[in-house]
Amino acid sequence: MVRQELARMIILHEYPISIVDHLGFKRFCNALQPLFKVISRNTAKSDILKIYDCEKAKIMKLLSKNQSRIAITIDMWTASNQNKGYMAITAHYIDDYWTLQSRLVR
């Protein structure tokens, strides 16, 4: 439960996974609960990927039940401080209540 919430916090606030190695974070966790063992970056990454897989399955199930058409958009960018390129694929559709919905697919 705590590990999952930590992973969700990292995702939500776009913190670096290395936050689990920061001395201030370790001290904070120890102050909250001295028995909590701070996880490694590999464990945090694994927990984040589990959440991703779970959310992806939910979205695919939702889209497969959709009766309307789906529009796909692609956004590509390069981070200013890295030489990495990124791509986001978003599915847009109108639900049964005539509300525009958008879901990040990849």
CB of 18 closer than 8 Å to CB of 41: yes
pTM higher than 0.85, yes or no?
Answer: no
* DSSP 8-state assignment for residue 13: H
* DSSP 8-state assignment for residue 89: E
Q: Is the dihedral of CA 11, 90, 49, 80 positive or negative?
A: negative
Which helix or strand (DSSP H or E) is residue 23 part of? Answer: helix 23-32
pLDDT tens digit sequence for 79-106: 777 788 889 999 999 988 999 999 988 7
Looking at residue 85, its pLDDT comes to: 86
Q: Which of 7, 105, 21 is nearest to 50 (CA)?
A: 7
pLDDT tens digit sequence for 15-62: 999 999 999 999 999 999 999 999 999 999 999 999 999 999 998 898
